[in-house]
Structure 1
């Protein structure tokens, strides 16, 4: 008997009929003799609605109450799926994050899992009961408060649960049938990958690909959890996320991704002295604001510096508030915030052994008249920040340049 963790995203459980279809998927695994834990997201659109209600209540709100509000959507899905499974004659019950419990740190809104005490859940699984777990949720024990794991956090819930249960595999069901070389809604020549490395998937997730949450891939790689991305609505193989050693021929570039969730901030005429970067980014880290691309330039007077960096659009107001509250200490003259930008990235483990990948990217964008605002790189990734109006043109051009189009 295998232990399987199945995760279903919001589009897979968008209404009661789709939840009934999901129940059929679960029943198939149960009938095959497997022990099954199911992790569910909120029904499609519900979390966005709850977030909007919160923002309508107050522009700057208590993140502990935010978590109490937005975590409620998963409870509804878990309860509905449990009821439908019971109606099919399958022993099942719903579990909220605090009932397992899933212990997290205190970073409300983007908490990290510290440990999972899954002994009782494991006992129930061994007795033949299906565990339907509300994803995205955790418990901060020092204040006994509900936490959430950030957008897409149900993926992390599923992989963490699979690691805790020592599951044979973790299947992530979604509305696509696997991981593609780019967004097929924009790039018509995009093709599905049969396999992708943990590292490539991690970069894709962190650079905007919405198939898996970044931290879920980190956890899968750390605990060697076998992950498969599959379609909820089509019965065919998906994309396996595996160790690099399991892929014989490595492409130079495996995918081209993008992120619209970007906002650019520039601090002008910051005093150029040792420790200036720490004084800027320290308060942002203390406020649990994630900073991504960073560029520092010396101002014309050579005595000050301009600092440009990106944050998530949802963090823009808080970022501005934090920086303005430290204006006197930081000493910058102006703060310029901009939302109309996107990040485009090319990713592939083959970059380690090939030269000229960046030059190809820059030349392709230049040939289309696309200006690059910020550049960052890693061993297997190159990212650029561009004007949002050029997103689709940039994706299609780069996908073709690196030979990723379907032939």
Structure 2
């Protein structure tokens, strides 16, 4: 009986993993082909760009939206570090806080700089993050009217982000060519959480090093990460006009992800940019920050992402147009099925281990596997090996060999978090979606705090 269950679960999991692995392999091949083609054509005629090309770029008023609920512990340090780091002459930081969050409001007021604009959004919190952003948009319209000028772009950052000095110059250079520009997100290594916090380093190294590159290459819209991204003021105004003055999707747990796809559907160009700080070096112009360091907070965050993208995205966004768009929306929404396959695979592994242990203790050996299942498991194992190597290579490229080796066992941690997050996301979806901002506690990098 145990072997029969183990065989059925193995067949189910292996068949699903094979389909996902072939899907990932196609993405890898497109990425490799693109790298080779650019090396043989573009980079033979042009010098690869780096942040040095941004010298002297300073056009347009940039406005940064920073929504804040219960962020008294980090918002002051974040604002001071941002003011010190941004190498750009004309920008404003609009920081939205709630009227019942006196501690956060006080921390914002302690940063006495005219570029910091504290915005009491006029309601008790927490509402949703999208609601806070929509109220910041209303505040921007008021500021523009009062000052008699219009922003060139709106940049999104969170209260724990460590900004890059050159990002506003990069946005100023590109925002006229695209309605949306997204920079890579680079999680900071947390020595206190090498396993849970570290798995974010692995996932973002691969997704923002490869997947978004291919996504843009095949013509699919770039979803926003909610940080390190710029939205052209005209594009944001178009979206606001089509949505009754509220450009951010108030009923979504992933309003940032949706905004990129919705702007792409309006015909705006969406752009993902990996610009090296120095050509030939791994560091890029990016948004950095700490990610959740405990199992509970990681599950909560992943559940928000999974619920907003996979469960709600079907109804809210549809499938778009063009094979590239449909392909990547399918990839975005496979998380719940992946969680089921992972659970089946781990249960099957547990059952097989029990059978092998029983054999070691003297029980009869399990019956041989069928030829078809045996080959399916071998092929899946081969593709899994390729997947592990790709993950390790991208992590090592971004963080060094040590973190690259750590990424291998951390895949198991990520899988466990994915399974737990899928369950939580399903429960939230069945209850009707988010009712308020389900945020996690944040920390700001101590070495940059002032």
Both proteins in one fold, TM over 0.5 = no
Q: Higher strand fraction: Structure 1 or Structure 2?
A: 1
- TM norm structure 2: 0.29
Higher relative CO (CA 8 A, sep ≥ 6), structure 1 or 2? 2
- TM norm structure 1: 0.32
Q: Higher helix fraction: Structure 1 or Structure 2?
A: 2
Please say which structure displays the higher CA radius of gyration: 2
